[in-house]
Amino acid sequence: MFLITGATGTVGREVVRLLTDREVRFRAMSRTPTGDQVHGDHTDPASLDRAVEGVDAVFLLGPGTPDVAAYDLAVLDAAKRAGVGKVVKLSAIPVGPVAEWHRPGEEATRAFASWTLLRPTVFASNSLQWAPLIEAGEPVPNPMGRIKLGVVDPRDLAEVAVEALLGDHHGRSYTLTGPELLGIPDQAAVLSEVLGRTLSTVDVPLETLPEAYAEGLRAIRAEDVSVLSPDIADVLGRPARTYATWARERYPRP
C-alpha cells in the first residue's frame, strides 16, 4: 500500500492516475480531500497517523512554500511511527532558497530503510500562468534574463516517481530535466508555433519581484544550473518529453 501526498497537485494527480491504471493499491492524501482521498494535515498529527496506517511506502510531495519543511517532517514522523520502509520525496534542484526549504525533508528522508530523492528543474506547466496574458495580447514576462533551464514535463516526474515506488531505487538522487535547455524567449517561440501567432517577451527587473522569488533567481543566475540530466531516460528507458510535446498537448488554445 502506497500513500500519495499532495494528491491534488500537478504531479500528484498524475501519480494517482498512473497507479490507478496499473491497479496498484494506494491511498491519496490531501488537506482538502474529495472523493476517495483521505484527509492529512501536517498541523494535525492524528490525521497523518490515520493516513499512514498500513502503508509500506510514501510519495512525499509538499507545498511549494517555506512550509514544506514543516510538512515533510510531520509526514515523515508519522511514517516512522507507522513503520513505513520506503520514502520517495519530490524535492528541487539544489540551488537557492527553495532548495533550503527542502533540505530538512531530504535529510529526514535518508533515515528510512529505502529512499529516493527526485530533484526536478522548472516545470513546463509553470508557463500556464502566461495564458491570460497571451489571450490578452500582452507579452510574456521574462525575469530569467538569458538563463536557460532543462524545462521538464510533470508527467515525466510522475512516471519516475511511480518507478521509484515500485522498483529498487534506494539511495538514488535523480536530477530530472527535459532534453533541451530553454529560456523564456525559447518557450515563447515554441508557444508561438503551437498557437499560430507571434508572442513577444518583456524583461522583468529582479527588484520589482517579491524578495523570495528574486532571491531564487539571483541564486540561479549565480550558479550553473543550465544542466541536462539523463536520469529520466535512464529510469524510464525513453527520452524525456520535450517542451514542444507538452505545449502541443496541454497548452490551452484560444
Residue spans per domain, the chain: 2-250
pTM of the full structure: 0.94
Q: Could you read off the pLDDT of 211-250 as tens digits, one per residue?
A: 777 777 787 777 767 889 999 999 999 999 999 999 999 9
Please compute the mean of the pLDDT values over residues 73-80 and round it to a whole number. Answer: 98
What's residue 33's pLDDT?
84
What are all long-range contacts of 131-139, with beta carbons under 8 Å and residues at least 24 apart?
131/251, 131/252, 134/191, 134/195, 134/199, 134/254, 135/254, 139/199, 139/200, 139/201, 139/202
Q: What are 122's three cell numbers? A: 522548472
Considering the chain, what is the average pLDDT of its residues? 94
Answer positive or negative: Cα dihedral of 13, 17, 22, 25.
Answer: positive
Per-residue confidence band for 209, with pLDDT thresholds at 50, 70 and 90: confident
Match domain 2-250 to its CATH number in 3.40.50.720, 3.30.420.10, 3.75.10.10, 1.10.3210.10: 3.40.50.720
Q: Are 159 and 104 in contact (CB under 8 A)?
A: no
